[in-house]
Structures are given as C-alpha cells and as structure tokens.
Amino acid sequence: MHTHLLTLQGLHSENLAVDGLINSPERRVLRAAGFAQSYLDAGFTTIRDLGNSGYYLDREVSSAIGRGYIPGPRMICSGPIISAIDGQFYQLPFKDYDRITAAEYRVVKSVDDAILAVKEHVNHSAGVIKIASWGERLGLSKAETEAIVKTAHEYHLTVTAHANFDGVIRDAVLAGVDGVEHGYDISDSTLALMAKRKVYLVPTDVSIRQGIEMMKARNMPADSATVKAELQPLGDRLRRAQKAGVMIVGGSDAYIELSVTRGDYAKETIASYVEQGFSVKDALRTSTWNAAKALGQEGRTGVIKPGVAADIVIFNGDLEKTFRKYCSMYMQYLKTGRLFLKANNFF
Ligand SMILES: [Zn+2]
C-alpha cells in the first residue's frame, strides 16, 4: 500500500531529487515496468503507488498494465504528492529549487490552490490523494489540509498523509485524513485519536534482514543484534498502535537501491511485522483484508469468497508455522509459475 515504482534512490546519492534529474521520464517508466513484474512474481496483485513519479508517470505505467501492454499488478496511483513549497527536497541550488520541486510535487500555495490540486488529480484519474503534511522545513496548513480532504471526499477519493512527528500526525488526523504513512514518532493519545476516527497506519518498517542489507550497502558494520536494537522503537510503536485498535496496513516504501527486488522487499516488510510480534494471520491481513478496506475495495479484493477477484496464492506447507521460510521460498515457486500470474484489471 506504499511504494514508488518511478523512483530509485541510490544509497550514496541521499537526495531524493537526484533520480528525476539524471533519468528521463522514458527511462523511469521502462524501469518501473521491471519493478511492476517483480511485485507479481512475489505474489502482490494490487499495489498503491504514492508519488515521486514525475508528472503522472505512475498513471502511464498503470494504464499500460491495465491495457495489457506490460505485465504488472493493479495500481492505485496518487499522482504528484501534494505538498508545501519545499516538497521533500533539500540541498538544491536556490535558483532551480522551485522548478525541480514542481517536477515531482504538486506544490500548493493557498487553500484555493489546494482545492485545484485535488481537482487536477481527479482529472488525471488518481486513485488516492497523498499529501506531505510536513516536508523538509514546511508543512501544509490546517486550512489547506482540510480543503484537500473535503474536496477529495467529494470526489470519493481518500487522503493519506506522509507524517512522522506526533504533532504533525495529530493535526493531519484532526483535519480529517483517512490514513497516516510512516508515523515513526507517535504518542498513545494520537493513536487513540486515530482509532476513534478510524484512521489507518501504514508502518513502512524494515525487517532485521532488510536492516542488515541496508547497512551492508552503506559499508557499515551490520549484525543482527545491532539492527534489532535499532528497530526496537519502531516495533514498540507498531505494537502500541495495534493495542490501541488502529488498523495496520502493510506498506514497504520501497525506493532505495538494494540487491533485492521490489516484490521481495515488500514481503520482507510483512515479515518485519511478524518479527515485531504480530501473528502471521495479523501480518498477512495488513496486506489483504486491511489493505482492501483502506482502499475502499471491500468485497472486490483482499478476501477469498465468491464474486471477489481470484487473487489466490498457493503454498506447499504450513504458512503459520514456517512463515519466515516461506517468505523466501515462495519467490522460487512463483518464478516458475510466472505465466499464471496475470492480474485482472478492474481499476
Ligand atoms: Zn514513501
């Protein structure tokens, strides 16, 4: 429920802006076709793409998949992230800052402009509105966020907010957003508010294995005890969120260049929830039942019953008992079964 098919950030080029500067839209779209295939290979039949996609390149990939030009999962796309004037960029030359930011974000300058931004997204068939409640130095105002939510809801679109700090998350929830992405630093009172207002959380967390991969790629010493200790605060907020009754929705936020495919990376994220104490059933539910609910696709996907899209994966063994093992073996099985994997597009 949280990926970026059109973005690839190198581990040594820390600025998100770099990808769009060194790669043409054509190259980004072709690269995304490979990423899309990897999701199918890993068993993901619907994905939600949340921006950093240039000028609606996410929609270009999504419609190519929908028309059967390339294989891939169904895509729900946000189009450009709606943000304040800083976007999520930093360290850009002052004279080019606005131009570079505007190429990846829908920068909003007033309440009226915020309403127009949502209408542009409706016009370009966005399936969800993604906002950056706080970027690098600036955030959307309360009035702007409220206007975005009101307009999106009028057009039957939900709004999800990139928000990390407790105060920012709280303001976004009070302004009426439907979901919160990341939520790294979140208090129990904000979690209680989210539960009350039925706002879901997408914890874009990493497994111990992913953490080790990331540290290795940065030439940093990596052992599982160190990584485990570093992930502990995230696990703690995940367990607190579950306890508070907040609906947890799976999302990998995959955009960093690593030696694993996007699809495998997303499976690792589900494994991270198990590592942090979720039952296998609850972890799988984050990416099936809960994800469908968050998308407003209940009764169409995310559950096995008559009349629902038959997105079924088959395991040889006991998934609950040996979840970790199947997380990686699963891929091998699917690679030989690729021909059978073609999602029916209903978006
Ligand atoms: Zn993201």
Angle between helices 262-275 and 208-217 (to 10 degrees): 130
- Cβ count near 246 (within 10 Å): 26
- Determine the distance separating the centroid of ligand 1 and the alpha carbon of 316, expressed in angstroms: 33
Centre of ligand 1 from the C-alpha of residue 337, in Å:
30
- DSSP for 72-89 reads --EEEE--SEEE-TTTT-
> Does pTM top 0.95 for this prediction?
no
Q: What integer pLDDT is reported at residue 328 of this predicted model?
A: 56
- Residue 47, CA distances (Å) to 201, 240, 246, 264, 283 in order: 16, 26, 21, 14, 17
DSSP 51: S
Tell how far the Cα of 40 is from the centroid of ligand 1, in angstroms: 20
Q: State how far Cα 125 lies from the chain centre.
A: 18
Distance 315 CA to ligand 1 centre (A): 30
Q: Measured in angstroms, how far is the CA atom of residue 317 from the centroid of ligand 1? A: 34
Nearest to 72 by CA among 95, 109, 42: 42
Candidates 52, 49, 117; CA nearest to 80 is 52
| Centre of ligand 1 from the C-alpha of residue 333, in Å | 29
CA of 130 to the centre of ligand 1 (A): 10
22-39 average pLDDT score: 95
Is 38 contained in some domain?
no
- Cβ burial, residue 153 (10 Å; 0-12/13-18/19+): middle
Is residue 42 within a helix (H) or strand (E), and if so which, with residue range? helix 25-42
The answer to whether position 169 is within a domain reads yes
CA of 181 to the centre of ligand 1 (A): 8
pLDDT digits (tens, 9 = 90+) for 68-127: 999 999 999 999 999 999 999 888 889 999 999 999 999 999 999 999 999 999 999 999
Tell me which of 51-60, 125-134, 242-251, 293-302 is least confident: 293-302
Ligand 1 geometric centre to CA of 270 (Å): 16
104 assigned to some structural domain: yes
The lowest-confidence range among 27-31, 163-167, 263-267 is: 263-267
Q: Kindly state whether residue 134 falls inside one of the protein's structural domains.
A: yes
pLDDT the model gives residue 320: 80
What are the tens digits of pLDDT across the range 218-247?
A: 788 888 899 999 999 999 999 999 999 999
Given a contact cutoff of 8 angstroms between Cβ atoms, the answer to whether 61 and 89 are in contact is: no
Question: With contact defined as beta carbons under 8 Å apart, do 113 and 164 qualify?
Answer: no
Beta bridge partners of 107: 83
**Does some domain include residue 54?**
no
User: What is the model's pLDDT at position 165?
Assistant: 96
Span from the CA of 3 to the centroid of ligand 1 (angstroms):
6
Highest mean pLDDT among 150-159, 272-281, 306-315: 150-159
Mean pLDDT for the chain? 90
Please name which of 312, 339, 263, 251 lies closest in space to residue 50, comparing C-alpha atoms: 251
CB 118 within 8 A of CB 159: no
- What CATH number has the domain bearing residue 129? 3.20.20.140
CA of 253 to the centre of ligand 1 (A): 5
Q: How many domains does the chain divide into? A: 1
Give the distance (Å) from ligand 1 centre to CA of residue 4: 7
How many angstroms does the Cα of residue 339 sit away from the middle of ligand 1?
Answer: 30
Across 15-19, 41-45, 128-132, 258-262, which has the greatest mean pLDDT? 128-132
Q: What is the mean pLDDT of residues 256-272?
A: 88
Local confidence band at 13 (pLDDT 50, 70, 90 cut-offs): low
Q: Classify residue 74: in a domain, yes or no.
A: no
| Domain span holding position 184 | 80-340
Asked whether residue 37 is domain-assigned, the answer is: no
Task: Mean pLDDT check: name the lowest of 50-64, 172-186, 206-220, 292-306.
Answer: 206-220
pLDDT digits (tens, 9 = 90+) for 285-338: 999 999 999 999 988 888 889 989 888 877 667 778 777 765 654 444 444 443
The CA 319 to ligand 1 mean position distance, Å, reads: 29
Q: Looking at residue 240, what is its pLDDT?
A: 98
R_g of the chain computed on alpha carbons: 19
pLDDT at 10 over 90: no
Quick check: is 127 in a domain?
yes
The answer for residues whose C-beta is within 8 angstroms of residue 235's C-beta and 6 or more apart is 205, 275, 276, 277
Tokens linked to 6: 């059109």
Maximum alpha-carbon separation in the chain: 59
Can you tell me whether residue 44 is helix, strand or coil? coil
266's CB contacts (< 8 A; 6+ apart) are: 3, 39, 42, 44, 250, 252, 254, 287
